[in-house]
Structure 1
Amino acid sequence: MGVRGLKTYIESRDRNYLRSWAFRDKRLIIDGCNLYYILYFDYKLDQIHGGDYDAFEELIIQFFENLRACDIEPYVVLDGGADHTDKKLDTLLERKQERINAAFALSVGRKGKVLPVLVKEVFRQLLHKLKVPLVQCLEEADWEIAALAKEWNCPVLSNDSDFYIFNLDAGFLPITHFEWDKVKVDRRTNKKFIQAKHFTVRKFCASFNMSADLLPVFASILGNDYVKLQNIRQLAWEEYSRPGTEHAQFDGLLNWLSQFPRPEAAVSDLLKQIDPDHRGKIQEALFKGIQEYKLISGCLAQFFHSKMIPHTTSIGPLQVLPKWTLMLLLEGKISSSIIDTLLHQRVFLISQVEDFQLPCSSQTSRPIRQVIYGLLLLRKQQTADKPNKTFTGTSRCTVEEYGRQESNLTSQKVEAIQTKVMEGLQLKTLWKEPHNVQLQVLLDTLGVSSEMLSKIQPALQLQVLVTCYWLVNAKPSPSKVHLWGLLLGMVYGNFSSTSQTQRDLQLKLNLQSGQRRMHLDCETAHLYSQWQFCLKCSLCLNRLLFSPVPEPEVARLYCGTLVHQVVGELRRGTGLDFLLVKGSSTERLFIQLQDAVVSLVGEDFVKNMKTGLEHRDAEKTQRDYYSQNQSIDELSGWLEYLMYDDIDDNDDDDLNGNRKRSKAKDHRNEIYDFFCTLRARHKAKARNAKYPSKKRERRCFEYTIEDL
């Protein structure tokens, strides 16, 4: 849902519509998906290298600690699957294509916004660890959030413009004006608070002398995600606006609506302006849109209080699911993608920054998803939207997966499958199955025997299983530098909670500042994107099987900027002995991870892997070409041209001139830094041509498995 442009309109007139509020000591309903989206992008965390989940984790922890310091009681609500009526399908398809476009733009050095694939996993896992009350809705969450806020008479924290339409007595707090990172103290009471901006429908409508019941008509006419009425949206509403008013369409429509006492009267008058052939369809669409904003008691309050599955029609077709599955869904312990699998036999895969000339990185994990589909849909399991349809073990059942081909949204029918041990299993009794049966389903899917698994520490099992599956199935095949980089990232994550001094002593990696743009190696990005998809699907399968292996902390397993830098260091000839301190706890953990991987895939497999140094040699050839055939002055001119070309591309995005100049300056500094680095390398190469460093001749993999 959401009305595009409404947030900008209201916030541009905040003297009238938003008031300051020293917020503390209250309940707060939080739109969880909006929160993690805003935090990740507002704090400029990594997107192009697959995400920095440890930094994201620190943000989330600090956010809820600050709420607690101000005696604010948070209740987080997450979106679930798509609406069971499929009325939003066109909008979903548009947004998926937009995300593919954004991922492609980032992959070629342009701007875009793409959430890394495991952000939601990290968020849900962390909230359970922090004991923050959490519910994952079975469908879109906006209406349930509003209904709960009305029932509890407390405000909503979100950035969704629909909360400017819902008539909530306690109002709405836009996240962009919620200064959670600047906790203040009231000098009179010595109590802490968070400065916020507060919106209420009552005050907004009073400024137009309009009934609050007419706001849903306003939203439906302009068109939200569910109601698209181009022929009435484009009527000349501007003629009703006040002179000199910005956003004249919004202002004019609100003034026009203010003359009517009730929504029915406004709709009736509007239809008189429409071609009679279209009136029936438009009237039906408008009233459906208006109904979206009518609030009655929802089911969230009952679940937050008692953890009981609500006995209500609000869960609709999903009532056919086993209670244990519904409980895990509502608690946010199982991915909401299984709702789309059950309701629509359709899944939207997440687009990532990768090599768009290669097949979508999610394809590597497809066999894992096929087993998940088999558990959900096979063996006489009724589908939620077609309760009379059943699938036997021999039936052919497919799920439509939406991914990409190059930069275009495509779909493909994927068959649900079952491993040998799955024969006879049913979803409704899956939780009763013996642990060894549940474990064997997971091991068969990932291609590992139970004997091999017994040699690995339980805390490391899932991440090692996923890594081995990735090594065997990824295309193109990962090299040794990709494997060592991934394992070193896990080591770093395991010690990231220690002090900075201790971390630096044990793991000698000098990370580049997050504000500086690192070169993107698309092959490395593609491979690590494949690994993240494998992890995401394996987590879902493990949870669906009642966690036969322990679930690792996702935020500790991958740090994009670090693993990409490690790969670069290894390719430049840096040895593992330089990155790991001899005898340290980090070295011991690295050896454990390495030995576990080798025990599963075999020493011959590892020995036959490419080293990854071929890429380094290609880069060296390219550098030699530029140093011999292009002067530094010519290269400087070329970089200057690119700088101004990039700035020109941003003209349409910047509304504030000063801000645009500031961004241009930052970009100029980035190019200057890159140019200075290149000049330094050029001079160093010329200086050392006669006396080459022996250190640079050292092989990256002289630190072998036998040495460790």
Structure 2
Amino acid sequence: MGVQGLKTYIESSDKNYLRSWAFREKRLIIDGCNLYYLLYFDCNLDQMHGGDYDAFEELITQFFENLAACDISPYVVLDGGDDHTDKKFDTVMKRKQQKIKEAYNLSMGKRGRVLPTLIKNVLRQLLHKLKVPMVQCLEEADWEIAALAQEWDCPVLSNDSDFYIFNLRAGVLPISHFQWKKVGVDRRTNKKCIQAKHFTLGKFCASFQMNAELLPIFASILGNDYVKLQNIKYPDWEEYSVPGMENARIDGMLKWLSQFPGPKEAISALLKFTDDEEKVIVHKALLNGIKEYKLISGSLAQFFKSKVIPQSILTGPLQVLPKWTLRPLLQGRMSSSVIDVLVHQRVSLTPQVEDFQLPCSSEISRPIRQVIYGLLLLTANKQALAVKAVTGTSKRYVEEYGRQHITLSNQKVEAIQTKVMEELQLETLNKEPHDVRLQVFLDTLGVSSAMLRGIPDALQLQMFVTRYWLVNAQPQPCQVHLWGLLLGMVNGKLSGTLKTETDMQLRLKKLQTGRGRIYLEDEAAHLYSQWQSCLKWSLNLNRLLLDPLSEPECARLYRGTLVHQIVGELRRGITLESLLMRGSSAEQLFKQLKDAIVSLVGEDFIKKMKTGLEKRDAGKTQNPPIDDLSRCFDHLLDKDTDDTEDDLNGLKKENPDFLFTVRTRHKSKDRNADNPSKKYERRCFD
């Protein structure tokens, strides 16, 4: 993200562009997406097994506790939907393709960086729990973050180098230099503080004797998310730098620009390097680049203070959003996918670590998404009538961006309605009775009203999702997969209680630390990725319906490394009884979850499931343990993940059918990979 190479230049320079600051007793605007991205990766949390959400929750809790200890007032701002102008669409798609490759690399034991699919859900739930002020923008957050920081005259916490270009009086604190883990003491004041590095544009430009208004042009030339100038025959920037200097290209570009009094003169000089037929296009692009970084009053300050919906939203291009959705969207209590569906009629699916020879794990949740699309597009009567008048049909479609093998793909998915939805209208969905909204959810997940009885409210949503997963997952889960998932839920529930050390926890902790090696079994990885996809989109549907069911704490439902290790132990022949102390609260909770699932699918269904113990004698090759993989791939660790394509080309030469012939046991279901929704539609509304 941001301006290519600028962060490296600033951090590696000997000109002290980053000054030390004992930070305390101030407001701090936090780039929320940047925060969870960097904390998860920098703290080496699990990515291969679907994520360790409880460990991430502990990190975030510690982060905000340490801010509070230093009297720092945080305000978190999250990205929302894609920009209505689509100016970053190509960039977003390129990143999506890269993430698919990185997820594939991780599935093969190689290097990659992929966030677990529920990470944003965990963060939003925790921020509400901790009462940290938070806003989810309706579009990209960068500009709104900068505008708020300028209005409040406080710094921004982010590693996004775009903030080095915005002319912020209070500057930027790079997260990578924000030493939040250790609360220090300022020797001058004897008060608690967090040591940080501080960047200000004024000091940066002063070192070049440069007009700060030229920085947006610099960002456009260098390349950012907004402007791509590929048709200029640039001068040799290094000629303007000190010979032999590191990052001479950027340094030379800055020195070249500093000779001009303002943007107008710099643009005129740049156009001299452009062919005549391209001058108009390049000139417009440069002006747009300047506009992207121009700050005026934003809309977040008003919402943070009084929760009043900004007037600019009510009258702008996002007025297609029903008014009742705006507050929950801004509060982060509703998924930003609502915005993408209504504004762009598209959804981008999250890449996960899974079996890449099988259809994308997100396909199992497509029927759930289709109902969401139906609620948003088919129940908006004015829009539906307008579409029918133009196209002759009331059918609506959403473009879904997922994967086909390891390649980014897209396909149109039809919005659908359950029977009870036929009388609903999006504009008044918030006024519908609870029973009606609940019935939409139950119909979507194939659950009858009678199944509600006997299942505690706090367990209903996660159990209905698990039922949906059991019925629709391909390949079909074995008993060890179900028991592993339920034991993970037990662990999550008990980890916050005082009885933690007296029950299953001690045995599971010994299991986690005693063996040291966690296998990544492709089948388990794929199945649990399917379950997480079902949970994510069921949560989104539940929020759109204004929570007819209680929302569970996502961080307590799944710990990937533990669940995968439990599956491995069960496959080795370890019994459930050896993990569950007789009469303990862990055993009682497991029985409660098991009984709930049995009541939802029936005892015969459970009995007919494969146990999963057959794997012990089947001789199936598993991926080597992480310890061994790190040794096997040491020689590859310095390669960039873009080398994936080269690796695949080599594999295809050895085996031309590598990416196009699936394992024998999956041939029948992969045959319909290009039209996957047909596989699920027969079963989800039974």
Indicate whether the TM-score tops 0.5: yes
Q: Which residue of 2 aligns with 1:253?
A: 253
CA contact (8 A) 1:221 1:232 kept: no
> How far did 1:14 drift?
5.7
> How far did 1:89 drift?
1.2
Residue identity in the other structure for 1:432: K
CA contact (8 A) 2:321 2:342 kept: no
TM-score normalised by the chain length of structure 1: 0.87
Q: Which residue of 2 aligns with 1:36?
A: 36
Q: Which residue of 1 aligns with 2:398?
A: 399
Tell me the SS of whatever aligns to 1:193: strand
Gaps of 5+ in 1: 624-634, 655-708
Matched residue count: 636
Structure 2 vs 1, CA of residues 18 and 513 (structure 1 numbering), >3 Å: closer, same or farther? farther
Q: Which residue of 1 aligns with 2:416?
A: 417
Tell me the SS of whatever aligns to 1:343: helix
Cα distance in 1, alignment partners of residues 157 and 324 from structure 2: 30
Q: Which residue of 2 aligns with 1:650?
A: 637
Cα distance in 1, alignment partners of residues 198 and 558 from structure 2: 38
Q: Which residue of 2 aligns with 1:268?
A: 268
Cα distance in 2, alignment partners of residues 250 and 3 from structure 1: 11
Identity of aligned residues (%): 69
Cα distance in 1, alignment partners of residues 282 and 515 from structure 2: 50
CA contact (8 A) 2:362 2:530 kept: yes
Cα distance in 2, alignment partners of residues 356 and 572 from structure 1: 26
Are positions 1:427 and 2:426 aligned together? yes
Q: Which residue of 2 aligns with 1:190?
A: 190
Tell me the SS of whatever aligns to 1:577: helix
Residue identity in the other structure for 2:192: K
Tell me the SS of whatever aligns to 1:62: helix
Q: Which residue of 2 aligns with 1:91?
A: 91
CA contact (8 A) 1:17 1:204 kept: yes
Q: Which residue of 2 aligns with 1:53?
A: 53
Tell me the SS of whatever aligns to 1:320: coil
Q: Which residue of 2 aligns with 1:281?
A: 281
Q: Which residue of 1 aligns with 2:657?
A: none
CA contact (8 A) 1:138 1:315 kept: no
Tell me the SS of whatever aligns to 1:29: strand
CA contact (8 A) 1:354 1:361 kept: yes
> How far did 1:356 drift?
0.3
Q: Which residue of 1 aligns with 2:449?
A: 450
Structure 2 vs 1, CA of residues 481 and 369 (structure 1 numbering), >3 Å: closer, same or farther? same
RMSD, matched Cα: 2.3
Cα distance in 2, alignment partners of residues 124 and 61 from structure 1: 12
> How far did 1:313 drift?
5.2
What are the superposed Cα offsets for residues 467-510 of structure 1, whole Å, 9 maximum, x if unpaired?
Answer: 00000011111110000000000000001123696156555222
Tell me the SS of whatever aligns to 2:49: coil
Cα distance in 1, alignment partners of residues 144 and 30 from structure 2: 11
Cα distance in 1, alignment partners of residues 402 and 79 from structure 2: 21
CA contact (8 A) 2:81 2:138 kept: yes
What are the superposed Cα offsets for residues 627-661 of structure 1, whole Å, 9 maximum, x if unpaired?
Answer: xxxxxxxx9xxx99x8776222234469xxxxxxx
Q: Which residue of 1 aligns with 2:220?
A: 220
Cα distance in 2, alignment partners of residues 474 and 447 from structure 1: 14
CA contact (8 A) 1:22 1:194 kept: yes
Structure 2 vs 1, CA of residues 514 and 10 (structure 1 numbering), >3 Å: closer, same or farther? farther
Q: Which residue of 2 aligns with 1:564?
A: 564
TM-score normalised by the chain length of structure 2: 0.89
Cα distance in 1, alignment partners of residues 102 and 229 from structure 2: 27
Cα distance in 1, alignment partners of residues 458 and 176 from structure 2: 39
Gaps of 5+ in 2: 642-686
Structure 2 vs 1, CA of residues 575 and 15 (structure 1 numbering), >3 Å: closer, same or farther? same
Structure 2 vs 1, CA of residues 61 and 547 (structure 1 numbering), >3 Å: closer, same or farther? same
Q: Which residue of 1 aligns with 2:241?
A: 241
Q: Which residue of 1 aligns with 2:674?
A: none
CA contact (8 A) 2:503 2:586 kept: no
Structure 2 vs 1, CA of residues 622 and 179 (structure 1 numbering), >3 Å: closer, same or farther? closer
Q: Which residue of 1 aligns with 2:101?
A: 101
Residue identity in the other structure for 1:493: G
Cα distance in 1, alignment partners of residues 255 and 111 from structure 2: 38
What are the superposed Cα offsets for residues 564-585 of structure 1, whole Å, 9 maximum, x if unpaired?
Answer: 0111111111111100010011
CA contact (8 A) 2:380 2:427 kept: no
> How far did 1:233 drift?
7.3
Structure 2 vs 1, CA of residues 14 and 133 (structure 1 numbering), >3 Å: closer, same or farther? farther
CA contact (8 A) 1:107 1:355 kept: yes
Residue identity in the other structure for 1:71: D
CA contact (8 A) 2:349 2:400 kept: yes
Structure with max Cα Rg? 1
Q: Which residue of 2 aligns with 1:678?
A: none
Cα distance in 1, alignment partners of residues 305 and 119 from structure 2: 27
CA contact (8 A) 1:223 1:233 kept: no
Cα distance in 1, alignment partners of residues 81 and 293 from structure 2: 20
Structure 2 vs 1, CA of residues 315 and 588 (structure 1 numbering), >3 Å: closer, same or farther? farther
CA contact (8 A) 1:321 1:428 kept: no
Q: Following superposition of structure 1 onto structure 2, how do residues 499-538 of structure 1 map, counting pairs within 5 Å?
A: 502=501, 508-509=507-508, 510-513=510-513, 518-538=518-538
Residue identity in the other structure for 1:560: G
Tell me the SS of whatever aligns to 2:413: strand
Cα distance in 2, alignment partners of residues 363 and 260 from structure 1: 54
Q: Which residue of 2 aligns with 1:142?
A: 142
